[in-house]
Amino acid sequence: MSTIAKEIEVELQTTPNLSAKELKAKFQQMHQVQLSESKMRRAKTIALQRKDGDHTQLRSYIDELLKANPGSTIKLDVEPCANPNLKTRELLRLDGCFMKGKYPGQILTAVGTDGNNCLYPIAFAIVEAECTDSWKWFLDLLGDDLDWPHDANFTFINDRQKGLIQAVKSVFPRAEHRFCCKHIHENLRQTWRGDLYKGLFYRATSATSVPYFNMEMEEIKKINLDMFLWLSEIPAARWLRSHFSGRAKSDMLLNNLCESFNKQLVGARDKPIITCLEYIREYLTMRIVTVKKMQATARGPLTPQATKAWDEIQTEASKLTVMMVDEVTYQVKSLRSQCVVNVEDRTCTCRR
């Protein structure tokens, strides 16, 4: 495409209003090559950008102005663009735990996952109480620190803590919410105890597609109508794998990474404020050193866990039959099921 654009750039210097159809005819006459009109249209766009420049070169233009005019002041302010349909990978866990002793308060935490599928603490704060104002303050600082615009698309998973849902809506109105299924089950088991109900619940939450989920819910309905109605009141997109939007490429149903992090802070929660902060800082330093040691031993471009996952995927893939449907769509069959894979959208109807 770049070569074609370079060829037609000369034509556009003298006749900038040539249409894609006319450029196609000229190119075909010169090189005896048949090109589609859409391809020529894209080449024309590239050629015009080279000739006239566009907004993507604005920062370079400013740099050149400042070099040529030292002491000048140039300010560039841009409006952050957020596409509500954009699929992003960000998934953060949020949680809070109590301080102990004579210093009351809460430790708020944000935890992510590193490339080796291990917990990665991102931020923490000590506040007077777990409420909407505290969470809004924490999320504002988190967004500034990670350079996230307020209309960015990413996903939070939480335990429905007091004030958190409203705070997220206020600070990040386009963020998605997931509720920790473990905490939903803890509420459920106050009324419906036993392995039978637990199994029914987790089979419904982990079903990868809506038809499979509906089958599991019908089973719950047959066994206990009240439990079925209770679960139906929870927004499906917040806790069901089958209803996740796919924006965050993760099937995570639990908030256990935050809980694991909070357990590491037990020794700090009854200490004076400075001692508490130093305890957390030292723990985070040790975690970072551990990760760096792991990186030093890794062979190849992937982490050990990613390598293991890739090997398992390759083993599973060798058992599948693939048939091309069109340029981007493939039918994939196993002994028990059949799926459609779109390599352009990077989706599969199995939703696994």
Higher-confidence residue: 74 or 330?
A: 330
Per-residue pLDDT at 87: 46
Please state the rounded mean pLDDT for residues 87-98.
Answer: 76
- Give the model's confidence band at 202: pLDDT under 50 very low, under 70 low, under 90 confident, else very high: very high
Per-residue pLDDT at 42: 74
Model pLDDT for residues 242-294, shown as the tens digit of each residue: 888 877 777 778 888 888 888 888 888 888 888 888 999 999 999 889 888 88
Per-residue pLDDT at 53: 56
Higher-confidence residue: 118 or 84?
A: 118
Please state the rounded mean pLDDT for residues 63-91.
Answer: 66
By the 8 A CB rule, do 303 and 116 touch?
Answer: yes
- Range with lowest mean pLDDT among 16-30, 38-52, 199-213, 219-233: 38-52
Please state the rounded mean pLDDT for residues 190-210.
Answer: 92
Please state the rounded mean pLDDT for residues 304-322.
Answer: 89
CA separation for the pair 183, 55 (Å, rounded): 49
Model pLDDT for residues 1-52, shown as the tens digit of each residue: 556 766 666 776 677 677 777 777 777 777 777 777 777 777 777 776 665 5
Per-residue pLDDT at 56: 56
Is pLDDT at 84 greater than 50 in this prediction? no
Per-residue pLDDT at 301: 83
Is pLDDT at 78 greater than 70 in this prediction? no
Per-residue pLDDT at 229: 94
Per-residue pLDDT at 322: 92
Query: What's this model's pTM, rounded to 2 decimal places?
Result: 0.65
The percentage of residues in the chain with a pLDDT greater than 90, rounded to a whole number, is: 24
Per-residue pLDDT at 225: 94
Is pLDDT at 80 greater than 50 in this prediction? no
How do the domains of the chain map onto residue ranges?
A: 2-68, 91-284, 319-348
Higher-confidence residue: 264 or 74?
A: 264
Mean of the per-residue pLDDT values of the chain: 83
